[in-house]
Amino acid sequence: MEYFLELSCSGLVRASIYALIALGYTMVYGIIQLINFAHGEIYMIGAFVALIVSGVLTIYGFSGFSILVLAGLIAVIYAAAYGYTLEKIAYRPLRNAPRLSPLISAIGMSLFLQNYVLLAQTPDFLPFPALIPDFAFMEPIAHIMGSPELVILVTSAISMVALTVLIKYTRIGKAMRATQQDMTMARLVGVNVDNVISMTFIIGSVLAAIGGVLVGSYIGQINFYIGFMAGVKAFTAAVLGGIGNIPGAVLGALVLGLTEAYAAGYISSAYEDVFAFGVLVLILILRPSGLLGKAVKLKV
Amino acid sequence: MVDNVKQSVLVALWFVFLTFPLMVVKVNTLNNIVEWRWMNMLWVAIGAFVLSIVWRWAMARRQLKNKKAEIGEEELTQAGLWQRSTEDPKIFKPVLTVIALVTLVFPLVVDIYQTNIMVLALIFVVLGLGLNVTVGLAGLLDLGYVAFFAVGAYTYGVLNSFFGFGFWISLPIGGLMGALFGIALGFPILRLRGDYLAIVTLGFGSIAKIVIENWEEVFNGAKGIANIPRPGFFGAEMSITSATVYTYYLMILMVVFAIFITNRLKDSRIGRAWMALREDEIACVAMGVDMARTKLGAYAFGAFWAGLAGVIFAARNTYINPNSFTFMESAIVLSIVVMGGMGSIVGVIIAALVLILTPEYLRAFAEYRMLMFGAVMVLMMIFRPEGLIANVRRKYAGRKVVTEDANV
Amino acid sequence: MRKTVIKKLVMVALLSMIMPATGFAADTIKIGIAGPHTGDLAAYGIPTKEAAEMVAAQVNAAGGVLGMQVEVLPMDDQCKPEIATNAAMKLVSEGVDVVIGHVCSGATKAAMGIYKEANIIAVSPSATNPPLTQSGEYPNFYRTIAPDDDQGKLAATFATDKLGAKKIAILHDKGDYGKGFADFSKQFVEAGGKAKVVLFEGVTPGAMDYSAVISKVRREGADAVIFGGYHPEASKLVAQMNSKRMDIPFIGPDGVMGNGFLDIAGKDAEGVYATGPKDVSALAANQKARANYTSKYGKEAGTFFDQGYAAMQAILNAIEVSGGTDYAGLEKALKSSYVETAVGKIKFDAKGDAEGVGFSVYQVQGGQFVELK
């Protein structure tokens, strides 16, 4: 039983991180039908900025908690800036192009950003400081769920709730929903569609950066390539849940994270990716639009 | 103009801010010091400023071109110089003869190193031509194409290490295995659309690599399969030099074969069905085209070529391991197809040669290779989405006279 | 207009490929240095290149070998087999006399056929895959590092004899090197009969979280972990073992024994065991070499520096002793003549392995790797 709990905890942690990144994918796709391949790199850049800031602050003698807050904040700001710039340079000019063009552009930006970080910093793995302190009250069950895991779960949950509140109850959320439903109509009723799209990218990037900082502290090391791996998994989660659908992204992330953890724990860790993709294929065969996706009725 | 300069200054400042942590700050945790690289900031500022000005100019030109197309003054994708010249027999024949001569004489005048690289480039040309049909003609976005490549390579490896099969027997088997896998993988995803298709094919590519890595008994896992024989000539033992030259000519034949088949298919029933599928799937089905057969045909065809290319890849390297079959290879082949011009055969060939040969020749710039690769992909999509050689369908609209003195 | 330019560039490109490669006709001894100099494994290949360049510079300043200057030709292979064949062919066409390389066992396997046909000897500082010497297929291959089965045996016997472990979990990164080490460890643990291998599993490098497999290790009741792979995965595993409060010993191969691991694992590294080349830092030759390096580059020499340095010394000595660079002469010299190098006094045995090099077990104590006697 304890083993099952350990695996479940492990699965939930993965699911939280995937969800944070998957939300970015799904929101962007919902609005402009683009797979933002470079989204994983935003997550990676968020982690790197946090690493650099905390490194500088440590050397200048700041204390633990303030480092966490400052590093997280600055990482989020920079991720938002990168997301915004990414959209402006690589996607906006291709707004009206055929489907394949922005996709290739996205793959190109993903490569570019990876190598940019590689050249600007280093190809090696860099140690990420453990910004999350160990809470004493977690000691008894530390072997099942440690403090970092708890923080990850709680932070992700709060972020997702915040996102839902944003989408449902604010003006900008309404504008985003309107643009997703029908871009032309939204324009006609006065919504500044360009700003809404930029905002979508920014929000997605903020979530990804939060994920990056959390994962960095949890694993203890980062390098320029982590974005790619996490990005593919998160994208799989988004598709699994129905791309374009926010609760779908969360559900997809849960299914994916838990499947991976249980497969690794009960079957074999070496094949965990195979199981993850296998589940994806299975679900897509049964429900071609994902778990919560709406079956798109194509009018001829 | 002044406005452009003002905007560019702002852009430069923005980029300085954006790249500050990564380019300027370097934390050395071992010695606990922070390295401030202010020179980088200067470079970023200057670079961003210059690029911004160039960018604005290029975008303005692009706007103009799009506007002109909208009002019908000019065609958006004009049949380029290449296509016009190939349709004119007076230019086409001599050009073709020169190219043929150069190709045939190539390995005899350059050393073995160049020939060997060229063989690799030609392998990617074949891969590009195969994917060209799946993505370019039929519009099926396949991000896991490398899986079929791996199938071909490992077919030869396994057949050779377990049964001692030689190259010539393994070649057609490799192609067939590729095609079979293409059908097998294509079957469950028939109902999927565009982006879902992309991620599932990506998944297949990953699964292929992982299975090869882990199934030790058959594939030898990460240790790879070594001592794979190079192509033989009726059982004669050849030195590495002759074998490489021999492989080169083999590849040329294969490329010609692939071009021939693809060309004929483009104008055939199934070729037109593929192009119809790409344009509008619903209409295609409504017109009576059997969607399942057409889609599976596209996959199988592309996978067949990948399988053949895989066998030759194994033979060239004499050693294969799973690390040669990652997503990066799929991305490279996809870039070859898109940058060459979707559906354009010549474009794909040129793009493959450029993408595979330039890193070898520019070994000095190896560090920046992937960076430039990414940047080029983005720029190509923005400024030349039709690819190097635009693939404009032949129109049958009255007589079109292409002569030197037509001043239309 | 643009299209004409493109066409012209293509023609130029095609034509320039016809230019035959020029080779030097000067009278020098050419040593090719093949290994990863770019890409994610560059940290394993660059120190050997630097070592060779240093030795060449010293020897040239003292008058060269047999009156000829030594020339070093670095050739990047990124540890990929297809690029390794390109690199090997390029070195052959440039007329190298001997090659130091390659660094990764996979790349070496791909390149050796080309060197064999060209009758060129290759001395590797780091390709530890046993069949490279033991299969007898590559008589022109030598190495200045002990093969992997030695390491695996050492790790296995250390775990069972010195640490008294009865249930051992063996993990690996599914790569050629890591799984090879894991396979050998398993083989020797089972052969020893004193302990059982309760878990043998591969982890996916670059995965986000290994807590599932760590939980599995605990569930099986293992009292020691042997891991085959490099320092990034090792540090993740060790960190997660600590966060799950698992206090069992962790043993890694020489891919873990290095500053990279200490740097990343930080305080989690304390107490970790690793096998590595016998500590040669007490040797005068080694100290001199490393001091030279630090004074030139301002930092510590990296992985395989000692072995690369030794390879270069061994080759130049062999050339001097045999009076030339022909294959038969060099083969005889390498196998019979002892040479003082940065890894000790070595010569090569009949199969190409170096005699006088071996592995030891190290442990992280106080933030540094300390050799255990």
Encode pLDDT of A97-140 as tens digits.
777 778 888 888 998 898 888 888 877 778 887 777 777 676 66
CB within 8 A of B371, min separation 6: which ones? Answer: A111, A112, A115, A116, A119
CB within 8 A of A90, min separation 6: which ones? Answer: A38, A102, A105, A106, A108, A109, B378, B382
Is the Cβ–Cβ distance between C31 and C98 less than 8 Å?
yes
Predicted pLDDT of residue B405:
54
At B151-189, the pLDDT tens digits run: 999 999 988 888 888 888 888 999 999 999 998 888 887
Domains C28-147+282-357 and C149-278+360-372 agree in fold: yes
Predicted pLDDT of residue B89:
65
CB within 8 A of C308, min separation 6: which ones? Answer: C47, C48, C49, C50, C51, C52, C100, C125, C126, C144
Is B114 in the C-facing interface, judged by CB distances under 8 Å? yes
C231 vs B391: which has the higher pLDDT? C231
Tokens for B338, please give them.
Answer: 């898109």
Tokens for B370, please give them.
Answer: 């992937």
- Give contacts of B 389-408 with A, CB under 8 A: none
Interface touch B377/A271, C-beta < 8 Å:
no
Is the Cβ–Cβ distance between A33 and A102 less than 8 Å?
no
Which residues of chain B carry a pLDDT beneath 70? Answer: 28-32, 70, 72-89, 194, 234-237, 362-367, 390-408
- The residue with tokens 């489907």 is A99
At A231-285, the pLDDT tens digits run: 888 888 888 888 878 888 899 999 999 988 888 888 877 788 888 888 888 888 7
Q: Which residues pair with B28 in a beta bridge?
A: B33
* Cα distances (Å, whole numbers) of residue B124 to B222, B329, B341, B349: 23, 10, 16, 9
Is the Cβ–Cβ distance between C76 and C36 less than 8 Å?
yes
- For residue C25, count CB atoms less than 10 angstroms from its CB and return exposed for 0-12, middle for 13-18, buried for 19 or more: exposed
- For residue B327, count CB atoms less than 10 angstroms from its CB and return exposed for 0-12, middle for 13-18, buried for 19 or more: middle
- For residue B222, count CB atoms less than 10 angstroms from its CB and return exposed for 0-12, middle for 13-18, buried for 19 or more: buried
* Cα distances (Å, whole numbers) of residue C57 to B186, C72, C232, C325: 59, 10, 34, 19
Mean pLDDT of A145-163: 86
Predicted pLDDT of residue C46:
84
C201 vs A131: which has the higher pLDDT? C201
What is the distance between the alpha carbons of residues A117 and C313, in angstroms, rounded to a whole number?
A: 38
Predicted pLDDT of residue C262:
81
Quick one: angle between helices B112-131 and C81-93, nearest 10?
A: 150
Which ranges of chain A does DSSP label H, i.e. alpha helix? 2-32, 39-59, 64-86, 100-120, 147-169, 171-181, 183-188, 193-219, 226-241, 246-262, 272-286
Q: Which residue of C has its CA nearest to A266?
A: C216
Architecture in CATH of A2-286: Orthogonal Bundle (1.10)
Q: How far is C91 from chain A (nearest CA, A)?
A: 27
Write out the CATH class of domain C149-278+360-372.
Answer: alpha beta
Predicted pLDDT of residue C25:
39
Mutate which of A119, A125, A135, A226 to test chain C, going by most C C-beta atoms within 10 A? A125
Tokens for A30, please give them.
Answer: 């919902």
Tokens for C200, please give them.
Answer: 């043998």
Write out the CATH class of domain C28-147+282-357.
Answer: alpha beta
What is the distance between the alpha carbons of residues A188 and A207, in angstroms, rounded to a whole number?
A: 30
What is the distance between the alpha carbons of residues B161 and B62, in angstroms, rounded to a whole number?
A: 56
What is the distance between the alpha carbons of residues C345 and C115, in angstroms, rounded to a whole number?
A: 27
**Residue-range domain boundaries for chain C:** 28-147+282-357, 149-278+360-372
ipTM: 0.81
At C136-188, the pLDDT tens digits run: 888 889 888 888 888 888 888 888 888 888 889 999 988 778 888 888 889 88
What is the distance between the alpha carbons of residues C55 and C50, in angstroms, rounded to a whole number?
A: 9
Is the Cβ–Cβ distance between C42 and C94 less than 8 Å?
no
Predicted pLDDT of residue C22:
39
Is B188 in the A-facing interface, judged by CB distances under 8 Å? yes
Where residue B69 falls (left for φ over 0; alpha for ψ -120 to 50; beta otherwise) is alpha
Percent of residues, chain C, with pLDDT higher than 70? 92
Which letter, b or e, does each residue of C57-78 get, where b requires 16 or more Cβ atoms within 10 Å of its Cβ?
Answer: eebbeeeebeebebbbbbbbbb
- Give contacts of C 118-157 with A, CB under 8 A: none
Chain A residues lying within 8 Å of B330, measured CB to CB: none
Q: How far is B318 from chain C (nearest CA, A)?
A: 6
Q: Out of A189-198, A218-227, B160-169, C276-285, which region has the weakest mean confidence (pLDDT)?
A: C276-285
